[in-house]
């Protein structure tokens, strides 16, 4: 990824964009943070937030006309947050003003003509910038129309006190000045630049261009008049309602322009968002409960402490987080895509020496695309991660552990134990070719056989069989080389059978083929069933009166036709469909996609647990570490609501129906009652309960692939020649709980056999002196497997197995 | 259980020796380590417990994978 690409990614994520209140504020006070501090009851911190941006916080905090409130997102639910009243409450009770930071002194002398609020703000900012400032005021006091405000709103004492700040900042104040054209010319000669307060100098004839209403004409973006070095602003009251915060903006604008004028810098550069602008931030108000605005019990006196806290607590702390709300992966790493893009970029960029601290992160995304669907800007984390994985492979810093198990499974599907391409028995050519997929064969071999027979009955011209892998795991791993190889094998086998039309029973294969083998025409098994009718053997009688929830595979997000086909079939089978909230174009992944299950098994387990809605992830990030980005506390509340919002109990109580083999197996492993569509259409046992089938081991899955292959060959009268190494002859006895445990550790029965075979032949074993149990280990490629076992007359009993990837170099003598 | 206690519970079935605590070298990705573990000084068989494999070793593997 290069810098430019990074910028593109970063721009897409709007989480860091300012909230509506701050964007609407002419001087961009961070009202979200201010209100947050007020909600925490920390007035001092709240005051600091105001003082960071506000000139004369003691004045403006009391009198601001708060245009922020009209944009407040809470206002979409009921009344906006009373930001104005909260500011007033804060500055009225703030303990001290705090120090005002002044930059290093500069030599240039700036004159401010007129002590109205705009002029005062210009003076304030210029003093802070280090300039020598002289304020010329026609009357006997600074402040202009500020003196006309009611005492209750802006007490005279406060006003005097705040105005005294200018003197403290070493401004020279000249009161009772004759401000006319002659004085103006004299000041122009004496000073390096000028700011004119239009309110104070209204009606004074100056040799400067005017607007129709007699006000000094200024450039809206910079406040520049038609004379170089002379800037002006203020006077909102002349044209309409007196708007203190707009006066402040114009004074501030003038001060910045003067600084640029002095520095001879680009006057207009980077000032697009000066003043109110439309933020790009999206904030959903879905699920925000109406809470009425707190009314101060003492209307004139403003909020009490308690009232201020209560009112501030109504703030929803605007942020986007749409993707993070629906994705456990994005949530788990405690950031959001903009942050992640930068991290991925850093991880990519450092090839040698420094740390690749985001390797697992990059490889934990399922690539399901849900983020893109819910993102107002279509940010797709999967695309970002996929690209990064390719870079990791290319630059050889991809740890093998992240994908090795899945890629070995792919090798199995490509190998002699499974891969096969044949015409229909008794035929020399095929008009159709069934590609049931490696994973469906792994979980439902009998149903694959029945569905093949169905296709042969219903379709004319011969239906061949192609067993293999579409290469999806290699694609997800960012292994383009391996992906091309696997897909190339499918292509040549298909061509060898006469390039027939392909019937797929896996949405991932379907998607891979249509994207990467467009010349190969393919159609889903479900579409065929819909067209040709339900198979006679279906269990439609089972469905009558029952309802189930369809768990769409994430890969069908952009495939509404398949989703609809499946729903029509399910209804034909007699079931009522109770839709899951995250279905249709919003399904989550089951944890297999993108090989998340391999690179981050713990996360994958939580993801599927979430999807199965059995319970909340036991050790979720929420429980462990409360996150506190802007609005953290609100976000946490939204997260905690998620399970109840998205997974209503009446829905999660249903059996699920999957039409992706991995979804079925992963949901079943999470303890959810779930069946695969193929099991309803082509049941192996009449009146059975496929949803009760439950968990299946990786070893069994491989054996099942062999069963499908064997069945095809048997019908053709062929012998499947498979070379079986000696260790396979070992007979194992494994209790179900042990099998489940070692399967979760991704240890195959075949691995166990290799270890025992080696131990028994070499004699290299350790013995537990108490139990007599043997323990042996063997390094097979990158993994060292350990097995605890005892031998008996009828084979070996396996008590436990575990593994590690760290290599034992040997003992040091 | 301490390393010594663990060593006492096992013997090398091939050599018939008791296990002793010795330094064992490990390597993973770009890292090399030495750990004191029970092992047979005759044939060099090492005892890695389940606790060690799933605990500290797994943690170290994870850290090295993100380096």
In this structure, are A501 and A412 located in the same domain? yes
* Residues A345 and A468 occupy one common structural domain: no
DSSP A659: S
The H or E element that residue A786 is part of is: strand A783-792
Do A241 and A136 fall within a single domain?
A: yes
State whether A421 and A374 are in the same domain: no
Give me the residue label for tokens 């004085």.
A183
pLDDT tens-digit profile, chain B (67 residues)? 677 777 789 999 999 999 999 999 999 998 899 999 999 999 999 999 999 999 999 999 999 999 8
User: Looking at the domain assignment, is residue A66 inside a domain?
Assistant: no
A436 in any annotated domain = yes
For chain A (813 residues), the mean pLDDT of every run of 10, in chain order, is 92 97 98 98 94 96 96 95 96 77 91 97 97 97 95 94 93 96 96 97 93 91 96 89 94 98 95 96 93 91 92 96 93 95 86 74 96 96 96 94 98 96 97 98 98 97 98 98 97 98 97 97 97 81 77 94 96 90 85 95 87 44 33 37 35 84 94 94 89 95 97 93 89 97 97 98 96 97 97 95 97 84
**In chain A, which residue's Cα lies nearest the Cα of B6?**
A768
Residue A285 lies in a domain: no
User: Do A387 and A484 sit in the same domain of this protein?
Assistant: no
| DSSP β-ladder status, B20-28 and B31-39 | antiparallel
* Within-domain flag for A169: yes
Tell me what pLDDT residue A540 has: 52
Tokens 């209790």 locate to A735
What pLDDT is attached to residue A625?
32
Nearest neighbour of B13 by CB, restricted to A358, A774, A803: A774
Measure the CA–CA gap between A324 and A639, rounded to whole angstroms: 9
Q: Which residues contact A385 (CB under 8 A, 6 or more apart)?
A: A344, A362, A363, A365, A367, A594
**Residues A132, A152: one domain?**
yes
**Residue A411 burial (10 A CB sphere; 0-12, 13-18, 19+):** middle
Domain boundary among the residues A357, A372, A398 is at A398
Residue A166 forms part of a structural domain: yes
What's the CA dihedral at A636, A637, A642, A648 to 10 degrees? Answer: 160
- Distance of alpha carbon A58 from the chain centroid: 41
Residue A583: predicted pLDDT: 81
B21 — contact with chain A (CB < 8 Å)?
no
- In terms of domains, do A368 and A409 share one? no
Per-residue pLDDT at A622: 34
- Rounded Cα distance, A549 and A579, in Å: 5
Among the candidates A346, A373, A398, a domain finishes at: A398
CA distance A593 to A600: 12
List, in sequence order, every residue forming a beta bridge with A173; answer none if it has no partner: A135
Distance from CA of B30 to the nearest CA of A (A): 11
Q: Determine the residue among B5, B24, B36, B45 to mutate to test chain A binding: the one whose Cβ has the most chain A Cβ atoms within 10 Å.
A: B45
Distance CA B17, CA B11 (A): 6
- Phi, psi for A611 (deg, rounded to 5): -70, -40
Nearest to A806 among B11, B47, B57 (CB): B57
Whether A433 contacts A494, CB under 8 Å = yes
Measure Cα distances from B59 to A197, A260, A804, B51, B52 in Å.
66, 55, 11, 12, 10
Convert A131-170 to b/e letters by CB count within 10 Å (16 or more is b). Answer: bbbbbbbbeeebbbbbeebeeeebeeebbeebbebbeeee
**Which residues make beta-bridge pairs with A504?**
A435, A524
In a domain, A96, yes or no: no
User: Of A296, A268, A9, A258, whose CA–CA distance to A113 is shortest?
Assistant: A258
- Which of A401, A804, A810 has its CB closest to that of B53? A804
Q: CA gyration radius for chain A?
A: 36
Helix %, strand %, coil % of chain A (to 5): 45, 10, 40
Asked if A111 and A190 count as a contact pair (C-beta separation under 8 A), the reply is yes
CB A662 within 8 A of CB A409: no
Q: What CATH code is carried by the domain that includes residue A779?
A: 3.30.2310
Residue B26: phi and psi, rounded to 5, are -130, 155
* Token reading at A494: 């298909």
C-beta atoms surrounding A195 within 10 Å: 32
Interface check B48 vs A, CB under 8 A: yes
Q: What is the DSSP string of B6-33?
A: HHHTEEETTT-PBPEEEEEEEEETTEEE
Let me know whether A250 and A389 are in one domain. no
Backbone φ/ψ region at A367: left (φ over 0), alpha (ψ -120 to 50), beta: left
Q: Report helix angle A117-128 to A156-168, nearest 10.
A: 40
Name every chain B residue with its beta carbon within 8 A of the beta carbon of A401: 61, 65
| Statement to judge: residues A342 and A368 lie in one domain | yes
Mutate to test the interface with B, among A786, A789, A806, A810 (most CBs of B within 10 A): A806
pLDDT for the residue numbered A811: 92
DSSP character string of A299-318? TTTB--HHHHHHHHTT----
Q: Give the integer Cα–Cα distance in Å for A414 and A408.
A: 10
Q: What are the tokens at A412?
A: 């199995």
In-domain check, residue A255: yes
User: What is the CATH number for B45?
Assistant: 3.10.20
Note whether A109 and A194 are within 8 A (CB). Answer: no
How big is the A-B interface in CB pairs under 8 Å?
106
Structural domain that includes position A370: 322-398
The residue segments making up the domain with residue B48 are: 3-65
Task: Tell me which residue in B25, B33, B65 faces A359 most closely, judged by beta carbons.
Answer: B65
Phi, psi of A788 (to 5 degrees): -100, 125
pLDDT of residue A642: 42
For residues A58 and A156, give the distance between their C-alpha atoms in angstroms, rounded to a whole number. Answer: 12
Regarding whether A408 and A370 lie in a shared domain, the answer is: no
SS3 A338: helix
Q: Which of A509, A534, A559 is the last residue of a domain?
A: A534
d(CA A118, CA A580): 57
Residues of B in contact with A350 (CB under 8 A): none
To the nearest 10 degrees (0 to 180), the angle between helices A305-312 and A31-39 is: 130
Q: DSSP for A222-255?
A: T-B-SSTTEEEE--HHHHSS--HHHHHHHHHHHH
CB contacts under 8 A, A 357-386 vs B, are: 357-360
Which of chain A's residues have a Cβ under 8 Å away from the Cβ of B26?
806-809
Distance CA A277, CA A274 (A): 8
Q: Which phi and psi (to 5°) does residue B54 adopt?
A: -85, -15
pLDDT for position A581: 76
The answer as to whether A214 is a domain residue is yes
Q: What is the number of domains present in chain B?
A: 1
In terms of domains, do A242 and A114 share one?
yes
**Contacts of A604-609 spanning 24+ positions with Cβ under 8 A:** A604/A366, A604/A666, A605/A670, A606/A328, A606/A332, A607/A328, A607/A329, A607/A366, A608/A666, A608/A667, A608/A669, A608/A670, A609/A670
Number of domains into which chain A is organized: 4
Whether chain B has a CB inside 8 Å of the CB on A401: the answer is yes
Our CA-based measurement puts residue B24 at a distance from the nearest CA of chain A, in whole angstroms, of 4
Contacts of B44 in chain A (CB under 8 A): 810-811
Q: Is there a single domain that holds both residue A132 and residue A254? A: yes
Query: Is the complex ipTM higher than 0.90?
Result: yes
Write the CA distances from A417 to A65, A283, A702, integer angstroms. Answer: 77, 53, 9
Q: What does the alpha-carbon distance between residue A734 and residue A738 come to, in Å, rounded to a whole number?
A: 6
Classify residue A107 by its DSSP letter.
Answer: S
Look up the CATH number of the domain holding residue A206. Answer: 3.50.50.60
Residues of B in contact with A813 (CB under 8 A): 22, 41
């Amino acid at each position: 990824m290069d810098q430019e690409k990074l910028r593109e990614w970063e721009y897409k994520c709007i989480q860091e964009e300012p909230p509506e209140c701050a964007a609407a504020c002419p001087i961009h006070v961070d009202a979200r943070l201010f209100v947050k501090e007020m909600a925490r009851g920390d007035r001092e911190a709240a005051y600091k937030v105001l003082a960071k941006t506000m000139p004369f916080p003691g004045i403006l905090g009391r009198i601001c006309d708060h245009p922020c409130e009209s944009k407040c997102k809470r206002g979409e639910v009921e009344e906006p947050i009373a930001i104005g009243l909260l500011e007033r409450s804060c500055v009225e009770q703030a303990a001290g003003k705090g120090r005002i930071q002044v930059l290093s002194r500069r030599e240039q002398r700036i004159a401010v003509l007129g002590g109205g609020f705009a002029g005062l703000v210009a003076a304030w900012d210029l003093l802070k910038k280090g300039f020598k400032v002289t304020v010329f005021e026609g009357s006997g006091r600074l402040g202009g129309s500020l003196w006309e405000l009611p005492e209750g709103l802006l007490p005279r004492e406060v006003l005097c006190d705040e105005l005294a700040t200018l003197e403290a900042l070493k401004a020279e104040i000249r009161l009772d000045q004759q401000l006319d054209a002659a004085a103006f010319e004299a000041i122009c000669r004496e000073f390096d630049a000028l700011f004119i307060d239009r309110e104070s100098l209204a009606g004074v004839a100056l040799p400067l261009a005017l607007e129709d209403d007699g006000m000094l004409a200024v450039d809206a973006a910079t406040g520049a008049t038609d004379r170089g070095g002379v800037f002006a602003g203020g006077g909102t009251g002349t044209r309409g309602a007196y708007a203190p915060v707009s006066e402040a903006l114009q004074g501030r604008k003038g001060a910045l322009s003067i600084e640029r004028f002095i520095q001879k810098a680009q006057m207009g550069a980077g000032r697009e968002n000066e003043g109110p602008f439309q933020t790009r931030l999206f904030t959903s108000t879905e699920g925000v409960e109406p809470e009425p605005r707190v009314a101060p019990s003492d209307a004139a006196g403003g909020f009490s402490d308690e009232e201020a806290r209560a009112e501030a607590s109504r703030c929803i702390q605007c942020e986007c987080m749409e993707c993070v709300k629906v994705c456990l992966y994005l949530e788990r790493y405690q950031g959001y895509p903009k942050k992640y893009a930068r991290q991925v970029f850093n991880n990519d960029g450092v090839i040698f020496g420094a740390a690749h601290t985001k390797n697992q992160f990059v490889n934990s995304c399922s690539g399901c695309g849900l983020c893109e669907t819910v993102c107002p800007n279509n940010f797709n984390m999967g695309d970002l991660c996929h690209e990064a994985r390719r870079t990791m492979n290319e630059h050889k810093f991809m740890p093998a552990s992240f994908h090795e198990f899945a890629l070995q499974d792919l090798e199995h599907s490509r190998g002699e134990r499974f891969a096969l391409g044949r015409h229909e028995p008794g035929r020399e050519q095929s008009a159709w070719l069934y590609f049931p997929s490696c994973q469906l064969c792994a979980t439902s071999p009998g149903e694959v056989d029945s569905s093949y027979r169905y296709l042969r009955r219903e379709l004319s011209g011969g239906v061949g069989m192609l067993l293999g892998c579409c290469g999806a795991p290699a694609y997800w791993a960012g292994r383009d080389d391996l992906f091309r190889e696997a897909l190339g094998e499918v292509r040549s086998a298909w061509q060898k059978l006469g390039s027939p039309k392909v019937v797929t029973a896996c949405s991932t294969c379907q998607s891979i083929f249509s994207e990467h083998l467009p010349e190969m025409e393919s159609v889903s098994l479900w579409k065929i069933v819909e067209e040709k009718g339900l198979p006679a053997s279906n269990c439609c009688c089972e469905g009558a009166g029952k309802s189930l929830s369809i768990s769409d595979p994430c890969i069908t997000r952009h495939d509404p036709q398949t989703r609809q086909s499946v729903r029509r079939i399910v209804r034909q089978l007699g079931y009522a469909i109770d839709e899951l909230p995250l279905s249709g174009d919003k399904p989550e992944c089951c944890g297999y996609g993108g090989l998340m299950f391999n690179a981050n098994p713990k996360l994958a387990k939580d993801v599927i647990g979430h999807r199965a809605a059995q319970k909340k992830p036991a050790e979720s990030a929420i429980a462990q570490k409360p996150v506190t980005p802007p609005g953290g506390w609100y976000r946490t509340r939204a997260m905690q609501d998620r399970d109840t919002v998205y997974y209503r109990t009446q829905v999660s109580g249903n059996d699920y129906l999957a039409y992706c083999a991995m979804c079925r197996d992963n949901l079943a492993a999470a303890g959810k009652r779930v069946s695969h569509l193929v099991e309803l259409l082509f049941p192996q046992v009449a009146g059975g309960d496929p949803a009760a089938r439950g968990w299946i081991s990786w070893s069994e899955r491989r054996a099942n692939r062999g069963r499908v292959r064997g069945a095809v060959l048997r019908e053709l009268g062929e012998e499947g020649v498979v070379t079986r190494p000696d260790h396979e002859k070992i007979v194992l006895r494994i209790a179900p709980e042990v099998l489940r445990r070692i399967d979760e550790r991704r240890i195959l029965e075949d691995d166990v056999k290799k270890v025992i075979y080696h131990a028994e032949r070499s004699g290299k074993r350790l013995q537990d002196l108490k139990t007599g149990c043997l323990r042996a280990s063997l390094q097979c490629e990158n993994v060292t497997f350990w097995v605890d076992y005892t031998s008996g007359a009828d084979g070996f009993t396996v008590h436990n197995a575990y593994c590690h990837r760290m290599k034992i170099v040997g003992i040091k003598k | 259980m301490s390393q010594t206690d663990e060593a006492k519970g096992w013997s090398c079935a091939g050599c018939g020796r008791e296990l002793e605590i010795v330094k064992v070298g490990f390597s993973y990705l770009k890292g090399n380590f030495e750990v004191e573990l029970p092992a047979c000084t005759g044939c060099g068989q090492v005892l890695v417990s389940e606790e060690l494999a799933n605990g500290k070793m797994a943690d170290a593997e994870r850290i090295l994978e993100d380096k």
